[in-house]
C-alpha cells in the first residue's frame, strides 16, 4: 500500500494555520499531527518551507470532450488542472452533444474514467424540454444542474420561464445558473451593430453584456429560488450591484442561495481590453476596477461563497476572429490558485479564506464525499505550495491543448510544488505523473 509522510509543513485548513505532519496510507489521510513516526516502507516528503492546502474543487470547468476536442479534452485539461492544484472538477454540459441526458452524462463518466488526471464529476444541462431526464437523475452521482439563462458557447440557452420554474421545483440538486439577460444582450448588440457594423471593438463587450444584463438575470434566478425553495448557486458574479442579492450573515450550511466568482473577474478589469483584446473576452464580461474590487471585498464578507476557474479554452485562431464571431472564454485552470494567492494579501483576504472558497465551500454546497478538507479519513487530495519559488508563465509551460494563456509573461510569487491526488504524488518538479489517477466524485445526498 502507498504510504507517504509529509513532514514539518504549514497546514492551512478550516481557518487554522498549524505546523504539522500529514501521514497518508493508500488513498486517504490517516493522521495529521506533530512528530508522526514512520516505518521503513514510508516515503518521506520534506515539507519545510512549504504550505499544504486541500486540493481545489473547481466546480466550473469546460474540458470540451466530447465534440469540441480541437479546443481541449479531458486528458489535456485535467493535466493542466493538477499542475495548477485543482484536484477535483465539475465539468459543464456545453460539449457536443450537449450533456442534457443521463446517457450523455454516463458517456462523459466513461471518458473521464479512462483519461482524467483529476477527480471528476459532471453537471447535467437543463433545457426547455428535458425535465424528464432531470427527474431521473441519481443525485448521488451527478454534481448538479447547469442552466444557461443567458446564451454562451454551445447554444444551451434555456429561456422558457415555465420550463425553468419546473426545473427549480423538480430537483433538490444545486442549480448552477449562468445569469445574463438575453434580451438586454440582444438589444445592446443591435445598438453596437448600428454604430460599428460588423467591426464592433472588443472594448464594447462589457457594455453589451453589461451590469443590467447580469443583475436582471441574477435577480430573476434568486427570486425564483426564493419562490420555489430551490438550491441555487449563481455562477461567475461579475458586478458589484449583483452582490446585493446575496446574504452574508447566514451560515453556509443554512444558505439555499449561494454565489460564485471566477479568478478572471478577480484579476482583470476593462483597462486590460487594450492590452489583451479578445483573449479576455468572457461571458459574463470583465467589468470595471470598482466591480473587481467589490468582488474581492465580497469574498471576505461571505457574500461570495465559491471561487472557480470557469476554465474555457478556445483555439487562438478562434479567439482572433472579429468580435461577433469570437468565442468567449479562456484557459485558466493551471493558474487559478496562483493568481488568487498573488492578490489576496493586497485585498486583505487571507489564504485561509481562499482555501474556504476553493475547497471547503464547494465540498459543503455540493455535498462532496470526503474531499475539500484536510481531515483524517478523507481522501489525500493535497497541494503543496512553495512561496519561495516564483512561477513565470511561458507558452512552453502551458499544458492546455489550445497552447495559450491570458497570463503569458506574468510572474507569480508562488509555485505549485507538488499535487497529491488520492494519496499519489501526481505533479512535482513541474511534471505531471504519466498515469491518470482521477476518480469519480460521489456525493453525500
Q: Which residues bind ligand DOR (CB under 6 A)?
A: 62, 94, 152-154, 178, 282-283, 312, 327-329
Please report how close the Cβ of residue 71 comes to ligand DOR at its closest, in angstroms. 8
Q: How many CB atoms lie within 10 A of CB 182?
A: 16
3-class DSSP assignment, residue 440: strand
Instruction: CB nearer to ligand DOR: give 243 or 280.
Output: 280
Question: Which residue's CB is nearer to ligand DOR, number 287 or number 371?
Answer: 287
- As measured in angstroms, the least distance from the Cβ of 282 to ligand DOR is 4
- Residue closest to ligand DOR (Cβ): 329
Give min distance, CB of 269 to ligand DOR, in A.
16
Q: Could you tell me which residues come within 8 angstroms of residue 134 by beta carbon, excluding any fewer than 6 positions away?
A: 124, 126, 145, 167, 170, 171
Compute the least distance from the CB of residue 62 to ligand DOR, in Å. Answer: 4
Three-state SS for 200?
Answer: coil
Min separation Cβ 241 and ligand DOR, Å: 20
Nearest CA-CA partner of 443 in 369, 372, 371: 369
In the block, residue with C-alpha cell 487559478: 336
φ and ψ at 440, to 5 degrees? -70, 130
Q: How far is the CB of 332 from ligand DOR (least distance, A)?
A: 10
For ligand DOR, which is the closer residue by CB, 121 or 152?
A: 152
Burial class for 172, CB neighbours closer than 10 Å (0-12, 13-18, 19+): exposed
Quick one: angle between helices 74-83 and 102-115, nearest 10?
Answer: 60
What is the rounded CA–CA span in Å between residue 104 and residue 151?
21
Q: Least distance from C-beta 264 to ligand DOR, angstroms?
A: 9
Closer to ligand DOR by Cβ: residue 155 or 226: 155
Q: Is 258 left (phi over 0), alpha (psi -120 to 50) or beta?
A: beta
Considering beta carbons, is residue 163 or 315 the nearer one to ligand DOR? 315
Determine the Cα–Cα distance for residues 185 and 182; give it in Å rounded to an integer.
5
123 forms bridges with which residues in the sheet?
144
Residue number, 75 or 178, with CB nearest to ligand DOR: 178
Nearer to ligand DOR, 178 or 255 (CB): 178
Amino acid at each position: 500500500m502507498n504510504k507517504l509522510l509529509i513532514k514539518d509543513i504549514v497546514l492551512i485548513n478550516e481557518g487554522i494555520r498549524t505546523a504539522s505532519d500529514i501521514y497518508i496510507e493508500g488513498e486517504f489521510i490517516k493522521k495529521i499531527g506533530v512528530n508522526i513516526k514512520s516505518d521503513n516502507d514510508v516515503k518521506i516528503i520534506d515539507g519545510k518551507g512549504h504550505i499544504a492546502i486541500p486540493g481545489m474543487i473547481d466546480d466550473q470547468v469546460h474540458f470540451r470532450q466530447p465534440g469540441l476536442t480541437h479546443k481541449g479534452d479531458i486528458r489535456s485539461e485535467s493535466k493542466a488542472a493538477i499542475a495548477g492544484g485543482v484536484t477535483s472538477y465539475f465539468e459543464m454540459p456545453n460539449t457536443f452533444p450537449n450533456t442534457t441526458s443521463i446517457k450523455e452524462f454516463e458517456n462523459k463518466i466513461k471518458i473521464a474514467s479512462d483519461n482524467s488526471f483529476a477527480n471528476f464529476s459532471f453537471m447535467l444541462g437543463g433545457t426547455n424540454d428535458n425535465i424528464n431526464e432531470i427527474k431521473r437523475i441519481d443525485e448521488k452521482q451527478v454534481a448538479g444542474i447547469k442552466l444557461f439563462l443567458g446564451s454562451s458557447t454551445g447554444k444551451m440557452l434555456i429561456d422558457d420561464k415555465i420550463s425553468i420554474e419546473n426545473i427549480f421545483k423538480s430537483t433538490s440538486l444545486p442549480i448552477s445558473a449562468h445569469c445574463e439577460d438575453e434580451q438586454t444582450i440582444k438589444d445592446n448588440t443591435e445598438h453596437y451593430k448600428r454604430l460599428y457594423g460588423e467591426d464592433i471593438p472588443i472594448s464594447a463587450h462589457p457594455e453589451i453584456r453589461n451590469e443590467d444584463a447580469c443583475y436582471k438575470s441574477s435577480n430573476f434566478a434568486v427570486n425564483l429560488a426564493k419562490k420555489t425553495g430551490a438550491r441555487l448557486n449563481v455562477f461567475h458574479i461579475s458586478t458589484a450591484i449583483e452582490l446585493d442579492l446575496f446574504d452574508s450573515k447566514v451560515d453556509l450550511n443554512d444558505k439555499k442561495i449561494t454565489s460564485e466568482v471566477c479568478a478572471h473577474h478577480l484579476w482583470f478589469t476593462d483597462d486590460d481590453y487594450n492590452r489583451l483584446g479578445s483573449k479576455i473576452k468572457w461571458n459574463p464580461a470583465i467589468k470595471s476596477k470598482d466591480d473587481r474590487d467589490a468582488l474581492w471585498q465580497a469574498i471576505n464578507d461571505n457574500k461570495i461563497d465559491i471561487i472557480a476557474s470557469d476554465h474555457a479554452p478556445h483555439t487562438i485562431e478562434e479567439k482572433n476572429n472579429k468580435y461577433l464571431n469570437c468565442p468567449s472564454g479562456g484557459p485558466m485552470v493551471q493558474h487559478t490558485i496562483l493568481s488568487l494567492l498573488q492578490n489576496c494579501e493586497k485585498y486583505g483576504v487571507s489564504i485561509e479564506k481562499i482555501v474556504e472558497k476553493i475547497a471547503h465551500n464547494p465540498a459543503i454546497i455540493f455535498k462532496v464525499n470526503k474531499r475539500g478538507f484536510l481531515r483524517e479519513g478523507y481522501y489525500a487530495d493535497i497541494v503543496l505550495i512553495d512561496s519561495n519559488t516564483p512561477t513565470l508563465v511561458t507558452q512552453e509551460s502551458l499544458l492546455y491543448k489550445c497552447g495559450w494563456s491570458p497570463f503569458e509573461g506574468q510572474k507569480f510569487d508562488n509555485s505549485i510544488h507538488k499535487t497529491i491526488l488520492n494519496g499519489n504524488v501526481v505533479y512535482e518538479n513541474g511534471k505531471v505523473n504519466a498515469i491518470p489517477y482521477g476518480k469519480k466524485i460521489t456525493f453525500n445526498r
